[in-house]
Amino acid sequence: MRKLFFLVTLSLSMLLLGCGEITNMQNEEMKESAMFEKMTVKAPIAKKVPKELTIHGDTRIDNYYWMNQREDPEVIAHLNAENTYKDTILSHTEKFQEKLFEEIKGRIKQTDMSVPYTQNGYSYRTKFEEGKEYPIYARNKGDKNGKEEIMLDVNELAKGFDYYNVAGRSVSPNNKILAYGEDTLSRRIYTLRFKNLETGEMLSDVIPNNTGSAVWGNDNKTIFYTVKDDALRAYKIFRHTLGTDTSKDELMFHEKDDTYSAYCWKSKSKKYIMIGSFQTLASEFRTLDADHPTGDFKVFQPRDYENKLEYSVSHYGDKFYIRTNLDAKNFRLMETPVNATGKENWKEVIAHRDDVLLEGVEIFKDYKVLSERIQGITKLRVIKNSGEDYYIDFPDDAYLAYTSINPEFDNELLRIGYTSLTTPNSTYDFNVNSKEMELLKQQEVLGKFDANEYASERIMAKARDGAEVPVSIVYRKDTKLGASTPLLLYAYGSYGSSMDPYFSSTRLSLLDRGFVFAIAHIRGGEEMGRHWYEDGKLLKKKNTFYDFIDCAEHLIANNYTSSDNMYAMGGSAGGLLMGAVINMRPDLWNGVIAAVPFVDVITTMLDETIPLTTGEFDEWGNPKNEEYYKYMKAYSPYDNIEAKDYPALMVTTGLHDSQVQYWEPAKWVAKLREMKTDNNPLVMHCNMSTGHGGASGRFERFKETAMEYAFFLDLAGKGDEPMLQ
């Protein structure tokens, strides 16, 4: 393990409030100091205020509980001190970070445009202009050659904001009014705004605190929107008439069960407004005729949590199609008349299969498209109303294929997306009748990129209980594999989210410097079917961590790398994964990055005021139940820190994160500093302006990517200025 010996002197007298805040004068002195001072920089030392947390007769002592006060000046001072410390520790990589940023940015075509799609007589596209951070949303009347109309220039809207994001754009059925959500804090709390596309004027209707999406009734004046509660749970659906007082909007649905969230959308057929209410293991839907938006919603099929009934609904003609787990772990497809929607009327269309996960279905006038995951890979299956049934062929063994933007119901051209570890994202139109595939656009990678210079593999690693875990691998063909080869292993492993083998132009900065990149498709995801998810959650959650460790050991045993050159990365629930595996096997990794990590599992899951908590009891368990409490305590990263050596670690977070609150990584880092016995670097980057998703600009977010890559490459001895030994 390389040890990082720091190059700048900093005395304890510089620490303010016990947090390591540095004055401007001292900052200037540090900048002017010689690069080869012998003393080491002192890390921020957080004060300890013991807090007893007792449940089930068990008491945990949390010395850093005080950090969960976002407005406390002492908390802000500590976070700023962590950022200053991080900047100091990484100061020798500053030029390298700038080089990596320009390199990553340089591969991206700055003046670019998405493939247009047609909806309701208009051709829509997203444009980017050189030197600008944000998209421009435009459309043309008729085909793409018509006069262009700029709907929103987000670069103009974003002026004056540290963070700005537009979401949920939707145009009224008569094409005259644009609704969109605006987030200026990065908390995913949106304000709905409305723009007259004929005059360019903004309407007086402004609706705060919602999900950012408006659903239009077919009368062009009635909209439905979803409001969030104090815990940022989407829980109420309101009806608003344009031009009226928003305080008088009518409540259409209130989800009172705090384990459920609610949302609203319009069927592809444009016939129905739909309200969905869902939690991890159950769902419920309501429908309303979009031609009569002032009417009342009707329940489609009552929720059945006791039997864990999940279903989703698509409309076609006089039928609804239902994707459901009713007597079908991997889901099946059923249909029912529009006037008889209870499950007793459902009839099977596609049967359940033990080896195929039905992930989704998209309905068109003359055919339907099924997304089916088979042996970890998503296949696209076309079933025509005529009875013809076939899969779309793709060239790679491991890839990601998906249905793209297909708003038109009557269309023989299916818009699909395709990518692999070596193939940039590609957009095709596939003719379902002739089976001809037309490439409309492939992501252009500027510079010297040649896909033929890279190789990808898909191997199976045997887990300790005998399960076969897929691992997707990519590297340059001229990279010599062996014990000295640096390898970055990535995974997520929660919520049934599958990590597909996709192309990344930013990743080339690692591959071109001799790194191997691997994705471990561990349990907790859904790559191998629904059982893959169920075997990696609740009281089987440790399988997720064991799988990741066993994949790492398999890669080492098969001479892809060694523990001295193994690196790991994961974010959010994948950050929990990082925290667990460095507690269980700290010896396996030379360096780890935990991005916005969920690491204080028990404390968070006991606090129902925190966003996401109540809706996730079926994912992690409810620690108010003693069995789940004990199981969580056995793996919770924060609760299992020990006095031992840990690998080099970078932790990232955002002050306004709504998914994983900033204090989880902040407390984790403080406790690691207190307990760990090594001299390896431990740094935390807290973006004081953003939340879970990081910076909002098109290129700005890559500055954090460059910082993370510099951290790994520096540890591997591949930075421009190698670390001192």
User: Which residues are part of the catalytic machinery?
Assistant: 572, 657, 692
Alpha-helical regions (H) of 516-562: 530-534, 542-557
Residue with tokens 């306004």: 656
How far apart are alpha carbons 271 and 494 in whole angstroms? 35
Contact 287/312 with Cβ under 8 angstroms? no
DSSP single-letter state for residue 181: E
Contact 439/426 with Cβ under 8 angstroms? yes
Of 707, 652, 649, which Cα lies nearest the Cα of 673? 649
State the first-to-last Cα distance of the chain, in angstroms, to the nearest integer: 10
- What's the length of the chain? 725
Q: What is the largest CA-CA distance in the chain?
A: 80
Identify the sign of the CA torsion 390, 393, 397, 399: negative
How far apart are alpha carbons 384 and 389 in whole angstroms? 6
Please list the residues that pair with 379 across neighbouring strands: 372
Contact 601/576 with Cβ under 8 angstroms? yes
Rg over alpha carbons for the chain, rounded to the nearest Å, is 26
Please list the residues that pair with 179 across neighbouring strands: 170, 194
Residue type at 175 in one-letter notation: N
CA angle 117, 377, 548 (to 5 degrees): 120
How far apart are alpha carbons 589 and 552 in whole angstroms? 9
How far apart are alpha carbons 178 and 176 in whole angstroms? 7
3-state secondary structure of 550: helix
How far apart are alpha carbons 416 and 406 in whole angstroms? 9
Contact 535/544 with Cβ under 8 angstroms? no
Burial class (CB in 10 A: 0-12, 13-18, 19+), 633: middle
| Number of CB atoms found within 10 A of residue 358's CB | 23
